[in-house]
Amino acid sequence: MDANRVYNGQAMMPDTLNAELIREPFVPLRLFLSDGQTVMVHNPGLCWIERGSMYLARTDRPNSRIMDDVDLISLRHIVRIAKVNGESQNAA
């Protein structure tokens, strides 16, 4: 499955997002949202997926599992997923 995917007006499927989060070895992901924002996923262990939403825990400490805040992202607003391979990528 290619993580550089574009979802032309269709909702992101929970199984598609899950497949990227359980990939071994995990590669950090950038999620592009319909409002132009981007969200970085550095640690898949801080993500929880529901049928229509993803919860992404945020931590202010590197390598920590202690949550400082949480983002709730509607899967219908994820329009693209891109792997982040250590090089900077511009938002679409």
Q: What is the mean pLDDT of residues 13-34?
A: 94
Which residues touch 60 (CB under 8 Å, ≥6 apart)?
A: 68
Q: Specify the residue for token string 């950090």.
A: 28
- How far apart, in whole angstroms, are the C-alpha atoms of residue 73 and residue 49? 10
For 1-92, where are the E strands, in sequence order? 5-6, 29-33, 38-41, 47-49, 53-58, 69-74, 78-83
Average of per-residue pLDDT across 74-78: 95
For 24-67, what is each residue's pLDDT tens digit?
999 999 999 999 999 999 899 999 999 999 999 988 887 777 88
Classified as helix, coil or strand, 25 is: coil
* Omega prior to 25 cis, within 30 of 0: yes
